[in-house]
Amino acid sequence: MRRQVRMMLSVVLTGCMVLGMTACGEKSGGGTAAPEERNESVAAESSTAGAAAGQTGEVAEEGGAANLVMLIEEPNVSYFPVFLENIREKYPQYSITSKTWDQSQVEKTVKTAFAGGEAVDIVKYFPNQMETFLSADMALDLTPYMDKEWKSIFTENALDIGTYDGKLYCLPITTVYPDIDVNVDIFEEAGVEVKEHWTWEEFADACEKIKQNTDVFPFAICDTRVGWFQRNAFLQIWDTKEELESFNRGEISFKDERVVTALDKINDLFAKEYAYPGNGAFSQTKDQTQAAFSQGKIAMLFNVNNGGKKIRNVMEEAGMTNIRTISWPTMATGECDYVLGGCDGYFVSSNTKNTEACINILKYLTSKEAFELQVEDGDVVPANVEGGTNEEFSRDSARVYPKEILALSAELNDYVYYNIGANYFYDKEGTLEELESLRTSAQ
């Protein structure tokens, strides 16, 4: 089993998580539709190809034609269509089929193609969650292609998150972790102080005061993010990092008193109907929760750091400008004051027939030009570009932990991602049994 290089993302972000936003990205879709395809190809012209080659120092021979499949284009993200347009203009000799990126379908899409002898050549995925592909040797080692010039675009140690056993497999493009957007006016109405960092007890007390003193719900969280409560708790409830690592290896039971206590505290938020809209709180879409925030129906929106700028724009259009972004509440009492998170990134399928073309495209996707487009869209990027990190939206990057128990198996990952909140609410004992079964079967 490959062991990921465990470098704290404080180094990755300050010099660069899990989310396992894991990720958790604002721009990560959660639908179930099969990826859509769009194919556009342009006839090759050797002179144009040669010019493009000279600009980037790619490893391919000038004018080399290639047919590639890319799975990076996420709906409603403005820069991906621009990226694809620029790539096609830069490399007209490449015939590119673009598949729509859907977080719930990525692994299935890539593995199905691989099993059929086909390649999804370039894939957007999470650098800190590559085990599912590495265990089947489905990702190309990028180490031989990462020269000094290419590496210089990344912040110090940024590439460590996608490095396993000394080999680089996935290039980070955004740094993502959960935070909370706050309507300060509602907090003031409720007589609650807005704190940048707070304990779990302070957060629960604030929710109760907001419920008692206003006619709005304390918070909203969309369906694909409910599991973030449990995932953060699983990182925070240990006295030492050694205990955390033992839990992440599956050596500590989900029935451990510390785990159950944390799950009960989370469940209490929903039992007391702090979460919008009360009944149905586990099934709210991202659009529904954002609409509730912009309509003044909730005091807090559980969000991600790279979604902060977007929500500010939405709120400003709704006439609400007194918005702040604060940290996720912590259950930590020992040294494990961590949060989930990670990076979006790109990897190349190991069975690609067009390695050189893939490297050329990766170099563009991680170029100064591409990163600057992401920054304009509100991303926090692990790159040496102006505006790559914004203090309000990157303050907790040092708390991101690059390893979670979800890495034990795809089944456990999916259960915590999509089911744990509602299942625990309706059937506590059954949920603990299911978690235990998933833990032990992954050993």
Is the pLDDT confidence value at 319 over 80? yes
What are the pLDDT digits (tens) for 136-155?
A: 999 999 999 999 999 999 98
For residue 175, what pLDDT is reported? 82
- Average pLDDT, integer, range 56-81: 77
Per-residue pLDDT band at 367 (split at 50, 70, 90): very high
pLDDT category at 341 given cuts 50, 70, 90 is: confident
Q: Binning pLDDT at 50, 70 and 90, where does residue 109 land? A: very high
- The reported pLDDT for the residue numbered 24 is 42
Rounded to 5 degrees, what are φ and ψ at 359?
Answer: -65, -40
Give residue-wise pLDDT tens across range 193-233.
Answer: 999 999 999 999 999 999 999 999 999 999 999 999 999 99
Residue 3 to residue 433: CA distance in whole angstroms = 28
Confidence of residue 26 (pLDDT cuts 50, 70, 90): low
Which residues, in sequence order, are CB contacts of 243 under 8 Å at separation 6+?
252, 336
* Amino acid 389: pLDDT: 59
Average pLDDT over residues 368-380: 91
pLDDT over 70 at 332, yes or no? yes
pLDDT exceeds cutoff 90 at 356: yes
pLDDT score for 50: 32
d(CA 211, CA 233): 24
Contact indicator for 177, 341 with CB cutoff of 8 Å = yes
Give the chain's domains with CATH numbers. 66-176+341-377 (3.40.190.10), 178-339+408-442 (3.40.190.10)
Per-residue model confidence (pLDDT) at position 245: 95
Nearest 10 degrees: CA dihedral of 18, 407, 125, 281? -60
> What is the rounded CA–CA span in Å between residue 265 and residue 275?
14
